[in-house]
Amino acid sequence: MKNILLLGAGQSASTLIQYLLDLSSSRGWQIAIGDVNEEIANKKGQGKARGFAFDATNQEQLEEEVAKVDLVISMLPARFHIVVANACLKLSKHLVTASYVNDEMRALDKEAKKKGLVFLNECGLDPGIDHMSAMQVIDRIRNKDNELIGFESFTGGLLAPTDDDNPWKYKFTWNPRNVVLAGQGVVKFIQEGRYKFIPYHRLFRRTEIVHIPKYGEFEGYANRDSLQYLDVYNLRGIKTLYRGTFRRPGYSMAWNIFVQLGATDDSYQMEDVEIMTHRQFINSFLSYNPHDSVELKLAHYLNLDIHGDIMYKLKWAGIFSDELVGIKEGTPAQILEAILRKKWTLNSQDRDMIVMWHKFNYIDKSNNNRETEIHSSIVTIGENATHTAMSKTVGLPLGIATKLILEDKIEARGVLIPIIKELYEPILAELSEGFGFDFTESCVLTPNL
C-alpha cells in the first residue's frame, strides 16, 4: 500500500484531489491532505482522505507528516517548496510540485540521485504541459535528423466561449496578483536570428493574432524571458524563440491603459487607501481639473474615444465607480487587483478555458530541405468554478506523475522536469484519453521561394 501526502488544498488542487481519491479507491492507497484551513482539507477529502490543519512553518509537524508517506505533493506557495524538499531529502521521500525549479532546488539534485529519489518540478500547466507537449514534437522532429529553426508557444487561461459575456472576455482563473503584474521587467526573445527586447511600457502594444480552429481568434503578447528555454529545450542556435500569453482580441489595448497610468506599479504604498473609491484611484493618476470628469480627463490624457470600446471595457470593470476599494492599504497594483476582483472573480456558473498553442518550424531533410511548419494546440474547458480548466491542467499532470512514480515506471532520479520521454509520453497519453483535453496537430509546407 502506498501513502501520499498533499500539502495545500486551494482552488487549483480540486481536480488533483479528486484524481488522488480515485487512486485510493482503485489501488487501496492512503491519502492525507494538509491545509492551513482544516475544514477545507476535510471537505475536499470527502471522508476518503485524512484531512488536517497544517502549518508550513512548523518544521516538527512537517517532518512528522512526511515520515508517514512514500511521496509528497506540494501545492504550497512556491517559497515553501524548498522547505518541503529538504524534509523529503532527510526522510528519503519522493516529491512532486508544479512550480519552477530554482537554484536551491537544483542544488539538491546530487543528493536526491544518491538516495534514489524523484524530485519532479514544473509538472503543472505552464510550466508543465507546455514542456511536455513541446518536447514531444521537438523530439519527433529531431529524431528524423531534421533541423528545428523556430519555436513559438502561447498559453492562456480564459473564459469558456459560452461564458465570456463580459467585454474583456476575461476573469481571473489563477492568481490575480500575477495577472496584474504580468509582463513587468524586460521581455526577451529571438526573431529570425536577432535578439529582441520589449520594455514593459510597450509590451501590450506588441501583440499578434492566432486563429485556432473551433475556438476562434486569440491575441498573444510576449512573456518575460523566452531565452531561458534555450537550454531547457536544448535550442541553442535556433533562429526564432518566442513564448507568450493568450487573451481574446482587444484585451491588451485596454489593459495597456492601466500600464500607461501607472496603476500596475507595485513599488510604493498609496495614501488614504481606506477611504479611497475606485474613481479616486484612477483620478489620482490624472491632472487636476475641477471642470472635467474623470472619464474625460482619462480620454484626453491617453487619446481615447470616450464612447469607444476601451472606455466601455473600463466602465464595465467598475473603475469609475464611487464604491470604496475595500482595503486598508496597498500599492497601485494591489488596489487595482482589489477593484478588478469584484468583476473578474469566477462565479459558481462560470466555466474557464485553457488554450495552449505551439508553432514549430523545421527543415525537412527527407523532403529536399523543405521548410515545414507544425501547429499543435491543446484546449480544455472547466466543468464549473470548482473543477476549473486551470485546476484540471495543473492538477492532473501532478496526479498522473505521482502514480507513475509510485508504480516504479520512472527510472530517472534527481531533480527533474517533465521534458523526458518516460514522463511526457504517458502523462500526455492519459490526458488525451478521458479528461476532455482537445489535442490537435496540423502540418503546413512553407512555399519554396
- CA–CA gap between residue 295 and residue 150 (Å, rounded): 44
Q: How confident is the model at residue 165 (pLDDT cuts 50, 70, 90)?
A: confident
Q: Looking at residue 174, what is its pLDDT?
A: 80
Supply 122's cell numbers.
Answer: 514544473
Identity of the residue numbered 49: A
- What is the per-residue pLDDT for 447? 57
Question: pTM of the entire structure?
Answer: 0.91
Least confident of 17-26, 210-219, 344-353: 344-353
Cα–Cα distance list, 329 to 45, 182, 275, 342 (Å): 36, 21, 10, 17
> In DSSP terms, which residues pair with 209 in a beta bridge?
219
Residues 191-235: pLDDT tens digits? 999 999 999 999 999 999 999 999 999 999 999 899 999 999 999
Cα separation, 86 vs 56, in Å, equals 13
C-alpha cell belonging to residue 160? 469558456
Helix ranges (H only) for 181-302 are 200-203, 229-232, 251-261, 278-283, 294-301
The proportion of the chain whose per-residue pLDDT surpasses 70, expressed as a percent, equals 98
Pairing mode of beta strands 3-7, 71-74: parallel
Q: Grade residue 290 by pLDDT with cuts at 50, 70 and 90.
A: confident
Instruction: Identify the pLDDT of residue 368.
Output: 86
Query: CA of 54: how far to CAs of 46, 58, 161, 183, in Å?
Result: 18, 8, 38, 33
Domains parsed from the chain with CATH numbers: 3-124+389-434 (3.40.50.720)
Phi first, then psi: give them for residue 231, nearest 5 degrees: -90, -35
| pLDDT tens track for 408-448 | 999 999 999 999 999 999 999 999 887 889 999 888 766 55
- Reduced to 3 states (helix: H, G, I; strand: E, B; else coil), residue 400 is helix
* Distance from C-alpha of 184 to C-alpha of 419, rounded to nearest angstrom: 27
SS3 for 221?
strand
Lowest-pLDDT range, 118-127, 289-298, 357-366, 379-388? Answer: 379-388
> Looking at residue 296, what DSSP letter applies?
H
Beta bridge partners of 381: 353
